[in-house]
Structure 1
Amino acid sequence: MNWLKKTLLTTLLLLTVVGLACANNPDAVLGVWKNGEGTGMVQIYKKGDKYYGRVVWLKVPNNPDGTPRTDINNPDEKLRKRPLKGLENMREFVYVGENEWESGQIYDPKTGNDYSCEMKLVDANTLEVRGYIGVSLFGRTDVWKRQVKKA
Protein backbone atom coordinates (compact mmCIF):
# COMPACT_ATOMS: atom_id res chain seq x y z
CA MET A 1 0.00 0.00 0.00
CA ASN A 2 2.93 2.34 0.67
CA TRP A 3 4.09 2.10 -2.95
CA LEU A 4 0.58 3.07 -4.11
CA LYS A 5 0.61 6.20 -1.91
CA LYS A 6 4.09 7.07 -3.14
CA THR A 7 3.06 6.59 -6.78
CA LEU A 8 -0.07 8.70 -6.36
CA LEU A 9 1.83 11.48 -4.61
CA THR A 10 4.54 11.45 -7.28
CA THR A 11 1.90 11.61 -10.04
CA LEU A 12 0.07 14.45 -8.29
CA LEU A 13 3.30 16.39 -7.84
CA LEU A 14 4.23 15.90 -11.50
CA LEU A 15 0.79 17.09 -12.69
CA THR A 16 1.03 20.14 -10.43
CA VAL A 17 4.48 21.05 -11.74
CA VAL A 18 3.37 20.62 -15.36
CA GLY A 19 0.25 22.69 -14.70
CA LEU A 20 2.24 25.50 -13.08
CA ALA A 21 4.79 25.51 -15.90
CA CYS A 22 1.97 25.86 -18.43
CA ALA A 23 0.25 28.58 -16.35
CA ASN A 24 3.33 30.78 -16.22
CA ASN A 25 4.55 30.24 -19.78
CA PRO A 26 3.50 32.91 -22.30
CA ASP A 27 4.77 30.64 -25.12
CA ALA A 28 2.52 27.72 -24.09
CA VAL A 29 0.13 28.72 -26.88
CA LEU A 30 2.73 28.17 -29.62
CA GLY A 31 1.97 25.30 -31.98
CA VAL A 32 -0.64 24.12 -34.47
CA TRP A 33 -4.31 24.16 -33.49
CA LYS A 34 -7.39 22.71 -35.25
CA ASN A 35 -10.50 24.88 -35.15
CA GLY A 36 -13.73 23.63 -33.57
CA GLU A 37 -15.34 22.76 -36.92
CA GLY A 38 -12.30 20.73 -37.95
CA THR A 39 -12.08 22.67 -41.22
CA GLY A 40 -8.73 24.34 -40.68
CA MET A 41 -5.54 24.46 -38.66
CA VAL A 42 -3.70 27.56 -37.52
CA GLN A 43 -0.08 27.76 -36.46
CA ILE A 44 0.37 30.22 -33.61
CA TYR A 45 3.83 31.78 -33.57
CA LYS A 46 5.62 34.70 -31.98
CA LYS A 47 7.04 37.88 -33.53
CA GLY A 48 8.84 40.00 -30.97
CA ASP A 49 6.67 39.95 -27.87
CA LYS A 50 3.35 39.45 -29.71
CA TYR A 51 1.57 36.35 -30.98
CA TYR A 52 0.22 35.70 -34.47
CA GLY A 53 -1.44 32.88 -36.36
CA ARG A 54 -1.46 31.65 -39.93
CA VAL A 55 -3.57 29.06 -41.73
CA VAL A 56 -1.42 25.97 -42.36
CA TRP A 57 -4.04 23.36 -43.29
CA LEU A 58 -7.51 23.35 -44.81
CA LYS A 59 -9.87 20.39 -44.94
CA VAL A 60 -10.91 21.60 -48.40
CA PRO A 61 -7.77 23.27 -49.79
CA ASN A 62 -8.91 23.58 -53.40
CA ASN A 63 -11.85 24.88 -55.38
CA PRO A 64 -13.86 22.40 -57.51
CA ASP A 65 -11.65 23.30 -60.50
CA GLY A 66 -8.53 22.25 -58.55
CA THR A 67 -7.14 25.74 -57.95
CA PRO A 68 -6.18 26.71 -54.38
CA ARG A 69 -8.93 28.43 -52.38
CA THR A 70 -8.49 32.17 -52.06
CA ASP A 71 -9.75 34.98 -49.84
CA ILE A 72 -12.81 35.62 -52.04
CA ASN A 73 -14.86 37.31 -49.30
CA ASN A 74 -12.27 39.96 -48.47
CA PRO A 75 -13.82 43.45 -48.64
CA ASP A 76 -10.61 44.67 -50.34
CA GLU A 77 -10.96 43.49 -53.92
CA LYS A 78 -7.16 43.48 -54.38
CA LEU A 79 -6.80 40.82 -51.65
CA ARG A 80 -9.40 38.38 -52.97
CA LYS A 81 -6.84 36.39 -54.97
CA ARG A 82 -4.49 35.69 -52.06
CA PRO A 83 -4.43 32.02 -51.03
CA LEU A 84 -6.13 31.03 -47.77
CA LYS A 85 -3.35 28.58 -46.98
CA GLY A 86 -0.55 30.64 -45.45
CA LEU A 87 -2.86 33.55 -44.65
CA GLU A 88 -1.99 35.37 -41.43
CA ASN A 89 -5.44 35.48 -39.83
CA MET A 90 -4.48 36.26 -36.20
CA ARG A 91 -2.51 39.33 -35.18
CA GLU A 92 -1.03 41.30 -32.30
CA PHE A 93 -1.95 39.15 -29.27
CA VAL A 94 -0.36 40.12 -25.96
CA TYR A 95 0.14 37.71 -23.07
CA VAL A 96 -1.58 39.11 -19.95
CA GLY A 97 -0.92 36.21 -17.55
CA GLU A 98 -3.07 33.37 -16.24
CA ASN A 99 -2.94 31.55 -19.63
CA GLU A 100 -4.65 34.47 -21.41
CA TRP A 101 -3.73 36.48 -24.50
CA GLU A 102 -5.68 39.64 -25.34
CA SER A 103 -5.78 42.72 -27.57
CA GLY A 104 -5.57 40.62 -30.72
CA GLN A 105 -7.44 40.56 -34.00
CA ILE A 106 -8.79 37.56 -35.87
CA TYR A 107 -9.83 37.54 -39.52
CA ASP A 108 -12.66 35.26 -40.62
CA PRO A 109 -12.21 34.41 -44.32
CA LYS A 110 -15.77 33.01 -44.47
CA THR A 111 -17.19 36.48 -43.92
CA GLY A 112 -14.25 38.75 -44.75
CA ASN A 113 -14.58 40.36 -41.32
CA ASP A 114 -11.97 41.24 -38.71
CA TYR A 115 -12.88 40.84 -35.04
CA SER A 116 -11.27 41.73 -31.75
CA CYS A 117 -10.06 38.53 -30.16
CA GLU A 118 -8.73 36.96 -26.99
CA MET A 119 -7.44 33.47 -26.28
CA LYS A 120 -7.41 31.36 -23.14
CA LEU A 121 -5.44 28.14 -22.70
CA VAL A 122 -7.80 25.85 -20.76
CA ASP A 123 -5.27 23.04 -20.59
CA ALA A 124 -2.15 22.10 -22.53
CA ASN A 125 -4.20 20.93 -25.53
CA THR A 126 -7.35 23.09 -25.43
CA LEU A 127 -7.54 26.73 -26.49
CA GLU A 128 -10.64 28.93 -26.27
CA VAL A 129 -10.60 31.57 -29.01
CA ARG A 130 -13.19 34.32 -28.55
CA GLY A 131 -13.91 36.76 -31.36
CA TYR A 132 -16.10 39.78 -30.70
CA ILE A 133 -17.19 43.24 -31.80
CA GLY A 134 -16.95 45.98 -29.22
CA VAL A 135 -16.94 44.15 -25.90
CA SER A 136 -16.15 40.48 -25.28
CA LEU A 137 -19.67 39.92 -23.96
CA PHE A 138 -20.97 40.13 -27.53
CA GLY A 139 -19.00 37.46 -29.31
CA ARG A 140 -18.46 33.79 -30.01
CA THR A 141 -16.02 31.32 -28.53
CA ASP A 142 -14.54 28.48 -30.54
CA VAL A 143 -12.66 25.64 -28.87
CA TRP A 144 -9.45 24.64 -30.65
CA LYS A 145 -7.46 21.46 -30.09
CA ARG A 146 -3.69 21.24 -30.24
CA GLN A 147 -2.31 19.23 -33.15
CA VAL A 148 1.43 19.89 -32.94
CA LYS A 149 3.36 21.49 -30.12
CA LYS A 150 6.19 23.85 -31.05
CA ALA A 151 9.54 22.07 -30.85
Structure 2
Amino acid sequence: MKKQAFIIFTLIIFAQLAFAQNADDILGKWQSAHGSGQIQIYKKGNLYYGKIVWLREPNDDTGKPKRDIKNPSQNLRSRPIVGLDVLHGFSYKNKGIWSDGKIYDPKSGNTYNCQMTLQEKNKLNIRAYFGISLLGKTETWTRVES
Protein backbone atom coordinates (compact mmCIF):
# COMPACT_ATOMS: atom_id res chain seq x y z
CA MET A 1 0.00 0.00 0.00
CA LYS A 2 2.82 2.42 0.86
CA LYS A 3 4.55 1.61 -2.41
CA GLN A 4 1.37 2.38 -4.40
CA ALA A 5 0.89 5.68 -2.55
CA PHE A 6 4.52 6.62 -3.27
CA ILE A 7 4.11 5.80 -6.97
CA ILE A 8 0.88 7.82 -7.23
CA PHE A 9 2.46 10.76 -5.39
CA THR A 10 5.52 10.63 -7.69
CA LEU A 11 3.30 10.55 -10.80
CA ILE A 12 1.34 13.57 -9.56
CA ILE A 13 4.53 15.54 -8.95
CA PHE A 14 5.91 14.68 -12.41
CA ALA A 15 2.57 15.54 -14.05
CA GLN A 16 2.59 18.97 -12.36
CA LEU A 17 6.16 19.60 -13.47
CA ALA A 18 5.32 18.58 -17.03
CA PHE A 19 2.44 21.07 -17.16
CA ALA A 20 4.15 23.82 -15.17
CA GLN A 21 4.50 27.04 -17.11
CA ASN A 22 7.30 29.51 -17.08
CA ALA A 23 6.70 33.25 -17.41
CA ASP A 24 8.83 33.31 -20.57
CA ASP A 25 6.81 30.57 -22.31
CA ILE A 26 4.91 33.34 -24.08
CA LEU A 27 8.01 34.68 -25.85
CA GLY A 28 8.17 34.21 -29.60
CA LYS A 29 6.25 34.89 -32.77
CA TRP A 30 2.46 34.44 -32.91
CA GLN A 31 0.02 34.40 -35.85
CA SER A 32 -3.12 36.44 -35.23
CA ALA A 33 -6.47 34.62 -35.23
CA HIS A 34 -7.46 36.07 -38.61
CA GLY A 35 -4.04 35.22 -40.07
CA SER A 36 -3.30 38.67 -41.44
CA GLY A 37 -0.43 39.47 -39.09
CA GLN A 38 2.31 38.11 -36.86
CA ILE A 39 3.28 39.55 -33.50
CA GLN A 40 6.65 39.06 -31.82
CA ILE A 41 6.24 38.91 -28.03
CA TYR A 42 9.33 40.02 -26.17
CA LYS A 43 10.36 40.90 -22.64
CA LYS A 44 11.61 44.25 -21.39
CA GLY A 45 12.55 44.18 -17.70
CA ASN A 46 9.84 42.10 -16.01
CA LEU A 47 7.10 43.08 -18.46
CA TYR A 48 5.99 41.60 -21.79
CA TYR A 49 5.31 43.47 -25.01
CA GLY A 50 4.46 42.57 -28.59
CA LYS A 51 5.07 44.21 -31.93
CA ILE A 52 3.80 43.51 -35.41
CA VAL A 53 6.61 41.93 -37.41
CA TRP A 54 4.72 40.70 -40.50
CA LEU A 55 1.54 41.59 -42.39
CA ARG A 56 -0.02 39.55 -45.17
CA GLU A 57 -0.74 42.88 -46.93
CA PRO A 58 1.96 45.28 -45.71
CA ASN A 59 1.25 47.97 -48.32
CA ASP A 60 -1.72 50.27 -48.89
CA ASP A 61 -3.52 50.83 -52.22
CA THR A 62 -0.76 53.16 -53.38
CA GLY A 63 1.96 50.55 -52.75
CA LYS A 64 3.40 52.34 -49.72
CA PRO A 65 3.79 50.66 -46.30
CA LYS A 66 0.58 50.80 -44.26
CA ARG A 67 0.55 53.50 -41.58
CA ASP A 68 -1.23 53.87 -38.25
CA ILE A 69 -3.86 56.17 -39.81
CA LYS A 70 -6.63 55.35 -37.29
CA ASN A 71 -4.55 56.40 -34.27
CA PRO A 72 -6.44 58.92 -32.10
CA SER A 73 -3.22 60.94 -31.78
CA GLN A 74 -2.58 62.79 -35.03
CA ASN A 75 1.17 62.86 -34.24
CA LEU A 76 1.29 59.03 -34.45
CA ARG A 77 -0.66 58.49 -37.67
CA SER A 78 2.45 58.38 -39.84
CA ARG A 79 3.97 55.40 -37.96
CA PRO A 80 4.34 52.24 -40.05
CA ILE A 81 2.19 49.29 -38.91
CA VAL A 82 5.05 46.80 -39.29
CA GLY A 83 7.22 47.33 -36.22
CA LEU A 84 4.35 48.84 -34.21
CA ASP A 85 4.05 47.79 -30.56
CA VAL A 86 0.50 46.53 -30.01
CA LEU A 87 0.91 44.68 -26.69
CA HIS A 88 2.03 46.79 -23.72
CA GLY A 89 3.08 46.13 -20.13
CA PHE A 90 1.91 42.60 -19.33
CA SER A 91 3.05 40.95 -16.13
CA TYR A 92 3.06 37.24 -15.41
CA LYS A 93 0.68 36.32 -12.62
CA ASN A 94 0.82 32.52 -12.45
CA LYS A 95 -0.59 29.41 -14.07
CA GLY A 96 -0.14 30.70 -17.61
CA ILE A 97 -1.80 34.10 -17.13
CA TRP A 98 -0.31 37.44 -18.20
CA SER A 99 -2.40 40.45 -17.23
CA ASP A 100 -2.46 44.17 -16.42
CA GLY A 101 -1.57 44.93 -20.04
CA LYS A 102 -3.09 46.78 -22.96
CA ILE A 103 -3.62 45.85 -26.59
CA TYR A 104 -3.79 48.39 -29.39
CA ASP A 105 -5.85 47.67 -32.51
CA PRO A 106 -4.43 49.64 -35.45
CA LYS A 107 -7.50 48.77 -37.57
CA SER A 108 -9.75 50.80 -35.26
CA GLY A 109 -7.28 52.98 -33.35
CA ASN A 110 -8.70 51.65 -30.06
CA THR A 111 -6.73 50.47 -27.02
CA TYR A 112 -8.22 47.83 -24.73
CA ASN A 113 -7.38 46.23 -21.41
CA CYS A 114 -6.06 42.77 -22.11
CA GLN A 115 -5.19 39.45 -20.53
CA MET A 116 -3.30 36.63 -22.21
CA THR A 117 -3.59 32.97 -21.28
CA LEU A 118 -1.39 30.22 -22.63
CA GLN A 119 -3.90 27.52 -23.53
CA GLU A 120 -1.17 25.10 -24.56
CA LYS A 121 2.38 25.49 -25.84
CA ASN A 122 1.28 26.78 -29.25
CA LYS A 123 -2.10 28.40 -28.49
CA LEU A 124 -2.43 31.81 -26.82
CA ASN A 125 -5.80 33.25 -25.85
CA ILE A 126 -5.95 37.03 -26.10
CA ARG A 127 -8.83 38.58 -24.13
CA ALA A 128 -9.44 42.26 -24.96
CA TYR A 129 -12.02 44.13 -22.91
CA PHE A 130 -13.33 47.44 -21.60
CA GLY A 131 -13.57 47.75 -17.81
CA ILE A 132 -14.08 44.17 -16.67
CA SER A 133 -12.99 41.00 -18.43
CA LEU A 134 -16.59 39.80 -18.82
CA LEU A 135 -17.20 42.61 -21.32
CA GLY A 136 -14.78 41.58 -24.01
CA LYS A 137 -13.73 39.29 -26.79
CA THR A 138 -11.24 36.43 -26.93
CA GLU A 139 -9.29 35.29 -29.93
CA THR A 140 -6.69 32.56 -30.16
CA TRP A 141 -3.26 33.16 -31.66
CA THR A 142 -1.05 30.31 -32.89
CA ARG A 143 2.69 30.12 -32.37
CA VAL A 144 4.79 30.51 -35.52
CA GLU A 145 7.52 27.91 -35.50
CA SER A 146 10.90 29.24 -36.57
Please give the range of the TM-score, normalised by the shorter of the 2 chains: 0.7 to 0.9
**RMSD (Å) for aligned C-alpha atoms:** 1.7
Aligned pairs for 1:17-28 (under 5 A) are 17-20=17-20, 23=21, 25-28=22-25
Distance 1:15 1:57 in 2: 37
Asked if 1:38 is matched to 2:35, the reply is yes
TM-score, length of structure 1 as denominator length: 0.84
Distance 1:60 1:19 in 2: 37
Partner of 2:49: 52
Aligned pairs for 1:1-151 (under 5 A) are 17-20=17-20, 23=21, 25-148=22-145
TM-score, length of structure 2 as denominator length: 0.87
In structure 1, the gaps of 5 or more residues are 1-13
Q: SS of 2:68's equivalent?
A: coil
Percent of pairs identical after alignment?
Answer: 44
Distance 1:131 1:50 in 2: 18
1:40-83 Cα shifts (integer Å, max 9, x gaps): 11000000000000000001100121100000100111111100
Note closer, same or farther for the CA distance 1:51–1:77 as it changes in structure 2 (3 Å cut). Answer: same
Q: SS of 1:78's equivalent?
A: helix
Distance 2:15 2:80 in 1: 41
Q: SS of 1:135's equivalent?
A: coil
In structure 2, the gaps of 5 or more residues are 1-13
Q: How many residues align?
A: 134
Moved over 3 A (4+): 14-18
